[in-house]
Amino acid sequence: MKNKKNIIATVVVVGVLALLIISGMQGNTGRYLTIQEAIADSQRESGKYIQMEAKVVPTSVKWDPKQPQLVFDITDGKQNINVTFYDVKPDNFDSGYPVIVEGKFTAPGKFLAGKVLVKCPSKYEEEAKKQNQ
């Protein structure tokens, strides 16, 4: 009888922990969208956490180190999305490598990033070398 109580208690504790982990992760994992999907869904996705990969429009970058605030546009070559990021500018940001932005739309075409990640430059350098050969 005591063995059954221990097994039931263990199952309940594991179940509760699993629910807590899953519910905690739901706010921090988001759909991965292309620029076109994000623009089409920006009304519906407003306030939802999403991820996008794109190139930075170099002429759009505005960096204020005092706040710190980084404002820039990302593009897929056809459409742009304006991104605001309140944190330190990532290393290699100005190098022209693609970025991954994670965050939420605050309005159509306006994206508030919680994270900005610059894609690994070594991968792109290797691809460029292969293309030049």
Instruction: Give residue-wise pLDDT tens across range 47-64.
Output: 788 999 999 999 999 999
* pLDDT of 128 strictly over 90: no
* pLDDT of 94 strictly over 70: yes
Q: Is there a domain that residue 9 lies in?
A: no
On whether the CB atoms of residues 116 and 99 are closer than 8 A, the answer is yes
Confidence of residue 102 (pLDDT cuts 50, 70, 90): very high
Domain around 53:
30-132
**Which residue do the tokens 């897929």 mark?**
76
How far apart CA 73 and CA 79 sit, in angstroms, is 10
Q: Is there a domain that residue 35 lies in?
A: yes
Q: Is there a domain that residue 54 lies in?
A: yes
Taking Cα atoms as reference points, which of 33, 80, 77 lies closest to residue 60? 80
Q: CB-based contacts of 88: which residues, under 8 Å, 6+ apart?
A: 68
Q: Is there a domain that residue 110 lies in?
A: yes
Kindly state the DSSP code that residue 67 receives in the 8-state scheme. Answer: T
Residue with more model confidence, 21 or 114: 114
14-44 as b/e: b if 16+ CB within 10 A:
eeeeeeeeeeeeeeeebeebebeebbebbee
Q: Is there a domain that residue 44 lies in?
A: yes
Query: How far is residue 70 CA from its own chain's centroid?
Result: 15
CATH of the domain at 50: 2.40.50.140
The pLDDT, as a whole number, for residue 25 is 53
pLDDT mean over 90-117: 89
Q: Is there a domain that residue 14 lies in?
A: no
Confidence of residue 114 (pLDDT cuts 50, 70, 90): very high
Rounded (5°) CA angle 54-101-105: 105
- The tokens describing 115, both together, are 């994270």
Q: Number of structural domains, the chain?
A: 1
Among the listed ranges 7-11, 32-36, 106-110, which one has the minimum average pLDDT value? 7-11
Confidence of residue 131 (pLDDT cuts 50, 70, 90): low
